[in-house]
Amino acid sequence: MKFDTELVGKIGSMALINKENNILDYTLIARLSSELRPGYVWVTSGATETGRLDYIKRNGKELEGLAEDVKTDYSAQGQAILMSTYRQYIDSRYSVRQVLVEHQHFNDEQKREHLRTLLLRCKEQNAIPIINYNDTVSTEETRRFEIQSLKSTSQKVVECVDNDETASQIACLVKAQTLLIYTSANGIYRDNTNPDTLIEEICGKDVYEVLENINECENYCNGASRVGANGARAKLEYVKDAVKNGTKVIIASAKYPIKDLLSGKAKATRIFVK
């Protein structure tokens, strides 16, 4: 099977934060960024949480007001910091391009194609695209209204309620060989209180068998790492489209380098057709 992109990777907000000091984990981002190169597409969460921590640092308190407004303001503040941090640590030989997306970019054929060609040009132009959902201009109320309207005219609608979904849709868009979902855990567990129950492979002889096995593993998944997150079950649900497209999926802890996960050296949950 021919793939147009080597890797689409995604990292979640909580994996990016040093919980002990309530700041971005600069050591992790430096290591991660040093591995990024043209041919990789990177999806990053963390703008809202980064903005929140930065605001508290500068003002000694949290923002007050409507939750939607607060999220917007934190996201706008955090985006600049997040991109600046990636740019600082990515190899200076490579260009870095910020790409902010919304659900509409996946539900409109012209916008999908525009986004696809933008991302594919990056490799040719020695650039690394860094993607995030555009929380700054997309309110929850507006998004719900637009999604409902789309559902009335289309059987399949991409909602992008989570960057895991965004990453999976990007992987489909650019026909990625591998989709790497970084989390704060080592992968998917049969019992999330027991580290010995890590499910290292979800595979099958064909796509249909893999999807059946994903459905079975969803029954083991409960809880999420933060308010608003959808947890391991949602991750498994979101990656199904990528699996159908022939992409191998790796769900792993951000403590492991990309190269160790791609080579099979580090433990993770790997989802693939045999």
Helix H, strand E, coil C: the string for the chain is: CCCCEEEEEEECHHHHEECCCCEECHHHHHHHHHHCCCCEEEEECCHHHHHHHHHHHHHCCCCCCCHHHHHHHHHHHHHHHHHHHHHHHCCCCCEEEEEEECCHHHHCHHHHHHHHHHHHHHHHCCEEEEEEECCCCCCHHHHHHHHHHHHCCCCCCCCCCCHHHHHHHHHHHCCEEEEEEEECCCCCECCCCCHHHECCEEEECCHHHHHHHHHHHHCCCCCCCCCCCCHHHHHHHHCHHHHHCCCEEEEEECCCCHHHHHHCCCCCEEEEEC
Structural domain includes residue 85:
no
Backbone angles phi, psi at 14, to 5 degrees: -70, -25
- Return the pLDDT at 22: 86
Report residues of the chain scoring pLDDT below 50.
224-229
Gap between the Cα atoms of 244 and 29, Å rounded: 31
Q: Domain of residue 126: give its range.
A: 5-45+92-273
Structural domain includes residue 213:
yes
Gap between the Cα atoms of 101 and 57, Å rounded: 28
Which residues, including other chains, have CB under 8 Å from residue 254's CB and lie 6 or more apart? 11, 15, 16, 28, 32, 182, 183, 184
Count of Cβ atoms closer than 10 Å to residue 272 Cβ:
16
Structural domain includes residue 230:
yes
Structural domain includes residue 68:
no
- Return the pLDDT at 141: 61
Closest among 105, 158, 156, 109 to 134, alpha carbons compared: 105
Structural domain includes residue 62:
no
Structural domain includes residue 65:
no
- Return the pLDDT at 154: 74
Looking at residue 10, which CATH number applies to its domain? 3.40.1160.10
- Return the pLDDT at 188: 96
- Return the pLDDT at 146: 65
User: What's the domain count of the chain?
Assistant: 1
Structural domain includes residue 255:
yes
Structural domain includes residue 137:
yes
Gap between the Cα atoms of 122 and 100, Å rounded: 15
- Record the pTM: 0.91
- Return the pLDDT at 140: 65
- Return the pLDDT at 97: 98
